[in-house]
Amino acid sequence: MQSIHPKLTLVGAGPGDPDLISVKGIKAIADADVILYDALVSKELLTYATKRAELIYVGKRVGKHSHTQNAINELIVYFAQEKGHVVRLKGGDPFIFGRGYEEIVYAQKHGISTAMVPGISSAHAVPALQNIPLTSRGINQSYWVTTGTTSTGELSPDITIAAQSSATIVILMGTRKLTEICQVFQEVKKGNTSIAIIQNGTLPNEKIVVGTIDDIQEKAKESEVGAPAIIVIGETVNLRQEQKLSSIQQQVFAHGQ
C-alpha cells in the first residue's frame, strides 16, 4: 500500500482570466489529489487536474459563505492526511487579502508540509488591463492597496491616511463603502480627484465607470456597476483617457496617409 505524504500547496489563480496563472500553478494543479477552490477561480483551471483528483468548492462571496474559514482549515488537514497533496486554489494572490497565511500556519501546526505559488493580484492586473498605471513619473511616487471593509465591517482607517497623500489608491472589497470613501476624500478637499470602478476585471463581462469623487456615486448607480469590483483613486486614472485619445489620434493619422 502506497504511503501518504500530506502536503498543502497554496496556488494563486490570478484575477479571473484563466490565462493569468503561472506555469508553476498549473503544475501544482496537475499534481493534486484534492483541489479546494474558491468562488473567483475560473473553472477552466480545473481542467488541468487529473481524473483522480477530487474537486471541492469552498467559495465565499459577499453574503454567501459555503464554508467558514475554520471549516476550510479543517478540510485542508483532513484531505491532506487522507489523500496526500491538497491544492488550495484561491483567486488573485493568496497572501493579499486571501487568508492564505492563516491556512498555511494551520496546516503546519498539524504536521503538513506546505508550499506557496504566488498569483497575479487583481489590485495590479485589473488597472493595468484598463491602461491605468499605478505609478507614473511626475505624478506619484507610490501606491496603496487597502481593503475597503475591515473584519468588523467598518471602513478601513488606512483610507483616511492614504487620501492625504499623492499616492494612487487601490481599494478591494469597497463598493459597499463607496459613499463613505467619497466622504473621506471630500473632507480633505479632493472632490475633483479621478476615480475608476472596475467590475469583473479581466473577464469578458468586465465593466468600468470613471469619474471624480464628486460624481462617481451617481455614475456608478447609472451604470449599475457592483461587486466584485476594485476601486482606483488618483491622478493616474486620467492616463487611461489620454492613452485612448492617443490611440484614436494615431488611427486618424494612419487613415490620412
User: CA-CA distance, 231 to 83, in Å (whole number)?
Assistant: 40
Catalytic residue (one of 7, 17, 33, 38): 38
Residues in CB range of 42: below 8 A, 6 or more apart? 13, 16, 17, 18
Asked if 60 is an active-site residue, the reply is yes
Catalytic residue (one of 60, 83, 207, 219): 60
Is-contact 86 36, C-beta < 8 A?
yes
Catalytic residue (one of 33, 90, 93, 173): 173
Asked if 38 is an active-site residue, the reply is yes
Distances (CA, A) of 64 to 18, 67, 105, 153: 23, 9, 25, 15
Q: Residue 175: is it exposed, middle or buried by C-beta count within 10 angstroms (0-12/13-18/19+)?
A: buried
Residue 199, strand partner residues: 207, 229
C-alpha cell at 124: 495590479
Is-contact 174 150, C-beta < 8 A?
no
User: CA-CA distance, 79 to 201, in Å (whole number)?
Assistant: 32
Residues in CB range of 209: below 8 A, 6 or more apart? 196, 197, 216, 219, 220, 223, 225
Residues acting as catalytic residues: 38, 60, 173
